[in-house]
Amino acid sequence: MKILRTIAATRRFRSQARGRVVLVPTMGALHAGHAALIRRARSLAGMAGSVVVSIFVNPTQFGPKEDLSRYPRPVSQDQTLCASLGADAIFHPPAGEMYRADFSTWVHEECVSGGLCGASRPGHFRGVTTVVLKLFTIVQPDVAVFGLKDFQQCAVIARMVRDLDLPVRLVFAPTVRERDGLALSSRNAFLAPEERAETPSLRRGLLAARAAFLAGEGSAAKLVRIVRGEISRSARVDYIEAVDSATLQPVRETKHGDTIALAAFFGRTRLIDNIQLR
């Protein structure tokens, strides 16, 4: 497995690659959710193709009060995991390789990035779209694999790929969960044991709302109340919203295929999750 630290080396790797190149963009601190994405990438690439995992803690998607400096960076553990899953290369650039000191060009999606996490994390999706476009132009993948836990991120990237005619196929893989329902996330490592114990209430709330929807409850407000009612009192809810899965616009009356998305703080740790009403 090659470790690529520069854009030039990555472009050389790309120009020599045979078959399909599949990219898994990550910020490292890899867990079983990422492992599932890398396995999916391996099967999409086939024997002849190449899997590239990018590991870059992207500073531009963190707000000034967010957890950039404490974001975990277990580099050698990540490399071992990627190698064991059959990745062909890791693109792991230093920040200066991605952002020159006078960097001044941004990609800003203006519709689906506005609500949900976009409303509570101003600038977050501008950082995501900018770095993902850079990763696409550097690695030039045929296919890129993202996890559906970051449901809004998937929608924003899909819109960017469509609007800018980027020649990459997107694959969105299902969320991987702990046995008690907590969605895997690198941020789970920050949870104190007593906070961790309360987190399954997120999934419980979403499942209860979906069960109510399937039993005939269509009101978005009522479904949101059901989710909120299940979430542990010790959590601070950032948002719970029922939205159209394609436009991410809030709905009053839910329909088959809509999504309920949420974000909540357990202590200082902000977790997100979502469920599709189907």
Q: Which residues bind ligand PAF (CB under 6 A)?
A: 25-27, 58, 61, 128, 131-132, 150, 153
Residues 6+ apart with CB under 8 A from 15: none
Residues tagged active-site: 34
Q: What is the largest CA-CA distance in the chain?
A: 56
From the CB of 163, what's the least distance to ligand PAF, in Å? 17
From the CB of 217, what's the least distance to ligand PAF, in Å? 32
Closest to ligand PAF by CB, 34 or 203: 34
Closest to ligand PAF by CB, 187 or 203: 187
Strand order from edge to edge, sheet including 236-243: 236-243, 259-266, 269-276
And the tokens for 59?
Answer: 């500073």
**Residue among 69, 65, 59, 55 at smallest CA distance from 103:** 59
Closest to ligand PAF by CB, 187 or 210: 187
Closest to ligand PAF by CB, 30 or 202: 30
d(CA 171, CA 146): 6
The neighbour count for residue 178, using CB atoms within 10 Å, is 14
The neighbour count for residue 71, using CB atoms within 10 Å, is 18
d(CA 105, CA 90): 25
CB 39 within 8 A of CB 85: yes
From the CB of 187, what's the least distance to ligand PAF, in Å? 11
Closest to ligand PAF by CB, 25 or 118: 25
d(CA 212, CA 204): 12
d(CA 18, CA 15): 8
CB 95 within 8 A of CB 69: no
Closest to ligand PAF by CB, 185 or 254: 185
Q: Which residues pair with 24 in a beta bridge?
A: 53
